[in-house]
Amino acid sequence: MAPNITTIAPATKPNAIVATRPENPPTCAYVTFLAGNGDYVKGVVGLMKGLRKVRSKYPLVVAVLPDVPEEHRKILVDQGCIVREIEPVYPPENQTQFAMAYYVINYSKLRIWEFVEYEKMIYLDGDIQVYDNIDHLFDLPDGQFYAVMDCFCEKTCLPTYHDLLKTLQVTPPTPFAEQDFLNMYFRDIYCPIPPIYNLVLAMLWRHPENIHLDHVKVVHYCAAGSKPWRYTGKEENMDRGDIKMLVKKWWDICNDETLDHKNYVAPAEDTEAVNLQRFLAALLEAGIFHDITAPSAA
């Protein structure tokens, strides 16, 4: 199916918000993925506020499938996210049993390679939180696919995007869906980055000798029962002190109203990035974005 390309048309509303576009829009961005009408929007809001807390100078783009409701999109825009609708990408039909049934929709993440308005993007899952500035990952040398599970840094590129979709159609799906596919596709240039950039919580009880929480920059709340906005402490391993501390740490950011887009006062060096976010949010609120269907790439 054809992707949606967002274009800007002249404002026609008499009361349209006027925003000043920054002279140098960022060439890099963080990106995450959202589908459906569930509660993952809470995770994305937390991620946006986390990036703001560590004073990232780059925006957060949220690639949303068409089934994400307008209510959730507005929440994201109000928090300063750039919302970009994409069409689903599906693997060839076969009898593969995915590790989780919903993994099949994760192939849609391949659409981010066509976001060529940015030179380089860092993908973060919506249940990730950033506790230290990681903007320096954008400065890693080109020519490698830098990644740990559900966190990767890569240049956008239309030829790569088209080849990813073409290769997908002749590649049998595997249990871990797009993770396995990307590992295969980029196997010759894959370069792992240290796990401090994506602490998977299960490591706390499987390999505690390798974990130094004081050094961790990114935490991935992917263990069963660990999503902070769903946390009850009843699931296996969820009553641990370190888990409770990390859940509280997430909530401290999410509940901090000074990190809300409308309240945030950026340090002087961050003003340009915040101005861009406000500019794009103003365009959306003024109703001057229009979606145009592009020729099918799939």
Residue in 49, 57, 109, 227 annotated catalytic: 109
Q: Are 77 and 61 in contact (CB under 8 A)?
A: no
CB 201 within 8 A of CB 221: yes
109 is catalytic: yes
Phi, psi of 264 (to 5 degrees): -70, 130
Whether residue 168 contacts residue 91, with contact meaning beta carbons closer than 8 Å, is answered with yes
Per 3-state DSSP, the chain is made up of helix, strand and coil in percentages (nearest 5) of 40, 15, 45
How far is 257 from 11, CA to CA, in rounded Å? 32
Contact 120, 66 (CB under 8 A): no
CA distances from 254 to 53, 150, 228, 230, 270 (A): 10, 21, 10, 13, 20
Which residues does the annotation mark as catalytic?
A: 109
